[in-house]
Structure formats: C-alpha cells, structure tokens
C-alpha cells in the first residue's frame, strides 16, 4: 500500500506527550502526518516531512486523534422521548425505562437492530469517532442478548456482554434463576461474540454479591471485566471494579473518598458520562477530584435511548469543559487516549508512529473549538486506518 502525506495541518494534537511541545496533548504546529498501511508512519513539522506517494492538504485545519467512545449501548430498538419529556418536567431517572427498550428490542428483527445501530454509528463517524464499544443489555433473554452481540460484533471488536443490566420482569420473583441464566446459558451463548463482561452494580439492578458472581463467571468464560457503578447513588461498584482489575468503572457520579483512594492505586480507568448526567438532569461527577488525584479519566457518550441519546463526542467534550471544569486539553485527552486506556488499547487514541491512522480534521484552527463551539459541526472529516470515512469539508489532493 502507498504512503500518504497529510499536510497543511495548522495544529496537530497527537495526544502523545513524548511528541511535539511535550504537553499532554503533544501539540505540533504547521504539522504533517504520514499514513502507510493504515498506520501512522511519521509525525512532525511539515517542513521536515519526508516524501510520500500521495499528498492531502488539510488547508491549515486542526487535527486530533479519532475519538474513542468506550461506553455505548448502540444496539436497541424503539425510543423513549416520552420518558425524556416527563423527566424534563420533573420525573426522576431511575433506570425503570430499561424494560421499555427491552420489549422493543426483543420484538425487533436482526435487520432492524443492524439498521438502527448502523445509523447511529454513522452519526458517530460524522462527529469524529473512530472506535466504539458496544454493550448488550436490552435483550435479557438468551436469544436476544446473543442477537444484539452478533450485530455489535459486525460493527466493532469492542463488544460487551451486559446480560446483567437489570433483572427482567419475568424473573422479578426469582432473581436467583436469572443470575443462573446470566452466568450460565446466556453467558455461554454470548461469550463468543464479546470481549468484555459488564454488570450494572447499583441499587435496583445488581448488588455487590450478585455483581461478583457475574464478573467472575464472565472472566471464567474468557471475558475481561468492566463495571457500571455509582451512577444513581454511592455503592460498591468502584471498589468492586478495582478488586477485579476492571479496565474501567463507568459513571462514577457518586464517589466517596474511599472510592478515590481505591482508584488511585489501580489500573482501572474512571469513565465519565456527562451526557447521561445532562440528559437525566443529575448532578455532575467530580472530575476534578479524579484528575487532581492522578486517576486516568475517560469520556464517553453512553449512547442509549434512556439516559443519554447522544452520539457526539464533541458535545461530551463541551459538557466536560463546561460542567466538569476540565480544560479543553484534559477533555480531549480523556476522549481519545483515556478511552483507549478504558479499552486497554495502546494502538488508538493518539497519533504516534505505529498507531492506527485514525483522526478527525476540524473545521477550526485549534482543538479548543470542540468545546468553544458546542452544537456546531466542527468535525469536517473523519479518517480511520488511513481511509476517509466522512468528508464534509473540502480536501485538496
């Protein structure tokens, strides 16, 4: 395959601190990137760039790594706008609407699920996302959980079995039977299509002992753990995630001092989902406490029809800057390199030699515009493995 030189990059955020200006963003001005065989082959000042077979001039725009959206529930049917409307009128979010989506998802064909998820994935590509994690959890029976993960695995290698999302209504009187199903027959049917196992460890979903059973069974089936925790209240989710060396604990809206201490001495990433807090009118996680303690933070959309029907990582970055008081640089790192860490990946989320050539070209002179211009279509082009996915902006070749 031939080498392509991307030049005319006014500001390149590599998100690799050993490159460029040495900041966390690894900034290079008047930069160029060479992509070869889908990977970054060279990064530096345009004036130092070696020759390549092809040349793409990005016209002075800013370039950032493709966003790594490490937490989504993209495969589902139906929508819950009435629930959202009621919430905006004062109803609290409890997660009770999950069963509405489960009913719609069970009734949908595989083709309908694929079409819906593909449409949402296309929205994500348009806003600069190049890697997406997708969870099951809206089937809650063996056949539908498996169908969801089959569709998800067509769209991404980062698939997560979340059969332990809630106990479905038909098992309300016999939780033990559902636990046996999730850790037995359902897990066996789903594990071939999943990389990760997740559990919603929360009052009203699964308690600590149940969550331990779910994670342990998933690990025994060859899956890697991650946890939904501390979304609706304080609880054991964060500490459980750390004990299991989970790649990530997600939400972290309610964090105790003990939770912070546990995360500091762990390899577990705290994944923050400000779009869920925005769309449920929750208060916002204490991102500053996490960052100031040196804990690795990721930002993700949590895209789902209930708590956050959001596909845009630029919106998530804008919320993180406005509501979490993260700097634009911290938010960009969390949305790229942080997401990669939450998936235990080093080949994505930064633009350094050897990494996948995944990047977003901004119709803007700097990465700050991701937060500065909320709602504007700031991403002009999205490139994945050196190939253009979306190009609404002009590309000179």
Distance CA 254, CA 197 (A): 22
CB of 204 to ligand NIG, least distance (A): 10
Residues 40 and 16: beta-carbon distance below 8 Å: no
CB of 132 to ligand NIG, least distance (A): 15
From ligand NIG, Fe ion, none, interface partner of 306 (C-beta below 5 to 8 A by class):
ligand NIG
CB of 68 to ligand NIG, least distance (A): 17
Distance CA 337, CA 356 (A): 13
Q: How far is CA 37 from the centre of its chain?
A: 25
Annotate each residue in 276-315 with x if it binds ligand NIG (CB under 6 A) or - if it does not, as one string. Answer: x-------------------------x-xxxx--------
CB of 73 to Fe ion, least distance (A): 6
- Residue nearer to ligand NIG on the CB measure, 26 or 139: 139
Q: Does 316 bind ligand NIG (CB under 6 A)?
A: no
Residues forming beta bridges with residue 361, ordered by sequence position: 63, 381
Q: Does 302 bind Fe ion (CB under 5 A)?
A: yes
The owner of tokens 């980062």 is 158
- Residue nearer to Fe ion on the CB measure, 77 or 351: 77
CB of 73 to ligand NIG, least distance (A): 6
From Fe ion, ligand NIG, none, interface partner of 163 (C-beta below 5 to 8 A by class):
none
Exactly one of 87, 195, 228, 367 binds ligand NIG (CB under 6 A); that residue is 228
Q: For residue 244, what are the contacts with CB-CB under 8 A and spacing of at least 6?
A: 215, 219, 225, 227
- Residue nearer to ligand NIG on the CB measure, 268 or 279: 279
CB of 276 to Fe ion, least distance (A): 7
Q: Does 133 bind Fe ion (CB under 5 A)?
A: no
Q: Does 237 bind ligand NIG (CB under 6 A)?
A: no
Strands 67-69 and 54-65, how do they pair? unpaired
Exactly one of 26, 97, 168, 328 binds ligand NIG (CB under 6 A); that residue is 97
C-alpha dist (Å) from residue 138 to 17, 99, 127, 310: 39, 8, 25, 17
Residues 127 and 373: beta-carbon distance below 8 Å: no
Q: Does 200 bind ligand NIG (CB under 6 A)?
A: yes
- Residue nearer to ligand NIG on the CB measure, 21 or 91: 91
Cβ-closest residue to ligand NIG? 306
Closest by Cα among 153, 164, 150 to 226: 164
Q: Does 98 bind ligand NIG (CB under 6 A)?
A: yes
Q: Does 101 bind ligand NIG (CB under 6 A)?
A: yes
Eight-class DSSP state of 378: -
Main-chain dihedrals φ then ψ at residue 283, nearest 5 degrees: -80, 170
For the chain, helix (H) and strand (E) counts, in that order, are 15, 17
Distance CA 23, CA 319 (A): 23
CB of 144 to ligand NIG, least distance (A): 15
- Residue nearer to ligand NIG on the CB measure, 253 or 381: 253
DSSP string across 92-151: PP-STTHHHHHHHHHHS-HHHHHHHHHHHHHHHHHTTEEEE-EE--S--SHHHHHHHHHH
From ligand NIG, Fe ion, none, interface partner of 231 (C-beta below 5 to 8 A by class):
ligand NIG
CB of 260 to Fe ion, least distance (A): 21
DSSP string across 188-234: HHHGGG-SEEEEEESTTSB-HHHHHHHHHHHHHTT-EE-EEESSSS-
Task: Point out which residues bind ligand NIG (CB under 6 A).
Answer: 73, 95, 97-98, 101, 200, 228, 231, 276, 302, 304-307
């Amino acid at each position: 395959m031939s080498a392509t030189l991307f030049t005319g990059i006014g500001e390149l955020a590599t998100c690799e601190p050993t490159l460029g200006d040495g900041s966390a963003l690894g900034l290079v001005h008047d930069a160029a990137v060479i992509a070869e065989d889908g990977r970054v082959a060279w990064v530096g000042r345009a004036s130092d760039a070696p020759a390549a077979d092809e040349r793409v001039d990005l016209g002075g725009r800013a370039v950032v790594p493709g966003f790594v959206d490490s937490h989504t529930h993209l495969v589902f049917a139906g929508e819950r706008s009435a629930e959202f409307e009621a919430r905006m009128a004062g109803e609290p979010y409890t997660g009770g609407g999950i069963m509405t989506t489960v009913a719609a998802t069970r009734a949908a064909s595989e083709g309908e699920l694929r079409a819906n998820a593909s449409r949402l994935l296309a929205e994500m590509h348009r806003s600069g996302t190049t890697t997406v994690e997708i969870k099951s959890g809206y089937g809650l029976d063996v056949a539908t959980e498996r169908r969801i993960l089959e569709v998800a695995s067509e769209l991404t290698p980062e698939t997560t079995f979340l059969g332990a999302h809630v106990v479905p209504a038909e098992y309300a009187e016999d939780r033990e039977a559902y636990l046996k199903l999730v850790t037995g027959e359902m897990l066996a049917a789903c594990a071939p299509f999943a990389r990760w196992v997740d559990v919603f460890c929360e009052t009203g979903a699964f308690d600590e002992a149940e969550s331990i059973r779910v994670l342990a069974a998933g690990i025994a089936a060859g899956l890697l753990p991650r946890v939904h925790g501390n979304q609706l209240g304080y609880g054991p989710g964060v500490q459980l995630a750390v004990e299991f060396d989970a790649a990530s604990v997600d939400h972290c809206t309610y964090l105790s001092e003990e939770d912070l201490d546990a995360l500091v001495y762990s390899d577990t990433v705290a994944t923050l989902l400000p779009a869920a807090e925005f769309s449920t009118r929750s208060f916002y996680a204490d991102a500053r406490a996490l960052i100031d303690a040196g804990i690795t933070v990721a930002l993700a959309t949590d895209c789902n029809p209930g708590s956050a029907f959001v596909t845009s990582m630029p919106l998530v970055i804008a919320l993180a800057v406005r509501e979490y008081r993260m700097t634009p640089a911290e938010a960009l790192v969390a949305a790229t390199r942080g997401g990669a860490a939450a998936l235990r990946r080093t080949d994505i989320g930064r633009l350094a030699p050897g990494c996948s050539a995944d990047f977003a070209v901004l119709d803007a002179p700097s990465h700050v515009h991701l937060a500065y211009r909320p709602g504007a279509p700031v991403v002009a082009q999205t490139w994945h493995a050196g190939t253009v996915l979306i190009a609404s902006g002009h590309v000179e070749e």
